[in-house]
Amino acid sequence: MVTSLYRITGRSARAIAASIEEGSRAGRIPPGSALPTVRSLAATLKLSPTTVSSAYRMLRTRGLVVAQGRRGTRVSHRPPLATPGAAELPSHLRNLADGNPDPALLPDLRRVLGRLAPRSRIYGGPTSRPGLLRLAARELETDGIPTGSLAVVGGALDGIERVLQARLLPGDRVAVEDPGYSAVFDLLGALGLVPEPVRVDDFGAIPEELQKALEAGAAACLLTPRAQNPSGAAYDAKRARELRAVLDGHVEVLVVEDDHAGPVAGAPALSVVHAKRPCWAVVRSVSKSLGPDLRLAILSGDPLTVARVEGRRALGAGWVSDILQGTVEALWSNPDTGRHLREAESAYTARRSHLIEALARRDITSHGRSGFNVWVPVAEEAGVVARLAAAGWALRAGERYRLKSPPAVRITIATLRADEAESVADELARSLRPADSVSTP
């Protein structure tokens, strides 16, 4: 019996919630596990369903569990809790699952660090390096993004979290792309926010779907202008205009754009925000272009949102390390970095195109206008992932990236060679049409 296996105990809602949290922390209740129904757990513990329902509500508010309708209540895939780490991929599997950039296409930090003369930063003084902000402003203004208020944050998700906390309250609804980035879904749960799914196509959020989400009461929307994870969607000029028109009819809504791939996205920088909008933010990370360990992103937004973000951070972390800021400033100041990033963007675009074209030759539909991933619709995810693993390829099942959208698998192309693209396409074709002969010269 699940209740016995999970060892859920307690005589009050708070105690039951604490028992489930401890089970999750200890690994007895793994991420994604279905919890007992309210009535069955109430019967086992000899308590009222109201008490159990209250316990589940406490856990949902903290983002530890999610309610999934007929699928019941499940432990979050990434609960805001330190839990036993996920098992590493077996060494024989070629990793096309993790979403990381290619280390070989990142700048060599040793050259930059060797020339830096870091100062001993003490309390007080500006929290963002003026030189770094000037370089960021120049880049954002070139892309048509307002730069009246800028701040340095600790990466894309850090910036998104701080903006959402600065403007929203638990229980608020947030329009999010579906399929969308799993970490964003988890973050919303941890903040007590409710996702309102917005269907996407190859050009990003569909305007009519965004309109429905806003009419349903979304207080904010979170959009990805390019390199959308997992689908690779990217705005074109027409889509950006259409989305801006929808949003201009809802001026009270917070708009957040996550430009996490920046200059290596493989698509131009377009935006739906403008300086007259009262509540907005654009977060541009360096993790994909310069390296995840730099933990840095530039936040541009309306003056009040940026002021709230900086004021709240001052009460806690204080600032992003001046050494990290200095490293990014040095990289952006070096003309060689621009050439390096253009070469990286070209390499990622070629790798993505190789796979999409190989799949198309086998009559397999896929999506990937930009970014690091190709999204392949399938009828059933787990079987495809298992069959590809048996052939030596590790892919990511799409379940974690979906709210209401159909099944698919995600393939990260960051390190994929052209010859490997052909092999992956062959194996996918065998998986999807096992009776056919699929080899394509």
Examine the domain organization and report whether 329 and 213 are in the same domain. Answer: yes
**211 in any annotated domain:** yes
Task: Give the model's pLDDT for residue 171.
Answer: 93
**88 in any annotated domain:** no
What range does the domain containing 178 cover? 129-335
Task: Give the model's pLDDT for residue 441.
Answer: 47
Examine the domain organization and report whether 169 and 289 are in the same domain. Answer: yes
Low-confidence ranges of the chain (pLDDT < 70): 1-5, 69, 85-87, 434-441
**Taking the model in full, what pTM does it have?**
0.88
Task: Give the model's pLDDT for residue 36.
Answer: 92
Task: Give the model's pLDDT for residue 129.
Answer: 94
Examine the domain organization and report whether 323 and 354 are in the same domain. Answer: no
**116 in any annotated domain:** no
Examine the domain organization and report whether 248 and 385 are in the same domain. Answer: no
Examine the domain organization and report whether 284 and 343 are in the same domain. Answer: no
Task: Give the model's pLDDT for residue 66.
Answer: 84
**121 in any annotated domain:** no
Examine the domain organization and report whether 389 and 326 are in the same domain. Answer: no
Task: Give the model's pLDDT for residue 4.
Answer: 63
**What's the Rg (C-alpha) of the chain?**
23
Examine the domain organization and report whether 230 and 350 are in the same domain. Answer: no
In this structure, what CATH number is given to the domain that contains residue 370? 3.90.1150.10
Task: Give the model's pLDDT for residue 81.
Answer: 80
**110 in any annotated domain:** no
Task: Give the model's pLDDT for residue 437.
Answer: 46
**267 in any annotated domain:** yes
Task: State how many domains the chain has.
Answer: 3
Examine the domain organization and report whether 288 and 388 are in the same domain. Answer: no
Examine the domain organization and report whether 306 and 352 are in the same domain. Answer: no
